[in-house]
A and B are shown apart, each in its own frame.
Chain A
Amino acid sequence: MVFVDIVCHLDVLPMIGSTLFFAQRFSAVFLLAYVIWLITFFIFNQPFEFSTWVQFTNQQKFLIFTSAVALIIPLHAFIGLWTIGTDYFTQRTLGFLNNRLSQYAGLIRGAYTFLFTIWGFLIVFFILFIIWS
């Protein structure tokens, strides 16, 4: 239950602006490089075949980079989704939809933060499980 309490209040933790900004941008550059690497594989291996694909996904390089990506995706997504939450799920913006709803803005934002944090953990688990199994 302590874990749930911590996760529900992640959005009120002091998030340091410049650190978040740079974490978001550098993770974006890393993910972009990874995606470009995958795209070049698909471009140079047409038609798409099982043997080359399995060979590609079984190599050490793929496993290491994908494991790194598995950890970087939740970081990137957490900052982005946290920003969205603090921008839109506030008393001010929800009051536009419904006056009663705005009273529960903190709770709604907490539930939303909780949801995508759990989802992020599931994503990490499944990526690591799929590539290392």
Chain B
Amino acid sequence: MSINHNKVRPVYMNLFQIRLPISAISSITHRLAGIYIFFISLPLFLFLLYFTTKSYNDFMFIQQAFNNSIFFSTFVSFSFLVFAYHILTGVRHLLQDLHIGESLSASRVSSYIVFILWFLLTLFVIWMFYL
């Protein structure tokens, strides 16, 4: 038994050499969605809460902005959808913490279920506000 001490070992990991499985993609997008919510969605929700409860005129102004400005409505819808995504993947993680669907195949299936549910929700939002 001899150990080759001269073998060159990588000091830093090359992140692009890691091929992420579907469950890992679900996990990392959960984190990215969390960052987006904390820095962008949350202030937006507070802005909406403040102006929709301030007075009737402000409420109507927000509603009209939502109906007339495609930029504003898309921004708000996207922020809500990111929040919904964080919740769906979060529920999946909570179930796994309770040892439900922990196996490799089950976590793969649950990632696909979460993606499909979110896709359907996105279609529902598009159907509701844009068609």
- Residues of chain A whose beta carbon lies under 8 Å from any beta carbon of chain B: 25, 28-29, 32, 35, 50, 53-54, 57, 73, 77, 80-81, 84, 92-93, 95-96, 102, 116, 119, 123, 126-127, 130-131
CB under 8 Å from chain A, chain B span 82-112: 87, 90-91, 94, 97
A32-B87, A96-B15 known; A80 and B49 CB under 8 Å? no
Contact, CB under 8 Å: B91 / A32? yes
Per the CB 8 Å criterion, the residue count for chain B at the interface is: 25
B interface residues with partner A (beta carbon < 8 Å): 11-15, 31, 34-35, 38-39, 42-43, 46, 49-50, 52-53, 56, 59-60, 87, 90-91, 94, 97
14 inter-chain pairs at a CB distance below 8 angstroms, sorted by A residue, are A25-B97, A32-B91, A54-B53, A77-B38, A80-B31, A80-B34, A93-B12, A93-B15, A95-B12, A119-B39, A123-B46, A130-B46, A130-B50, A131-B49
Residues on A with beta carbons closer than 8 Å to the beta carbon of B46? 123, 126-127, 130
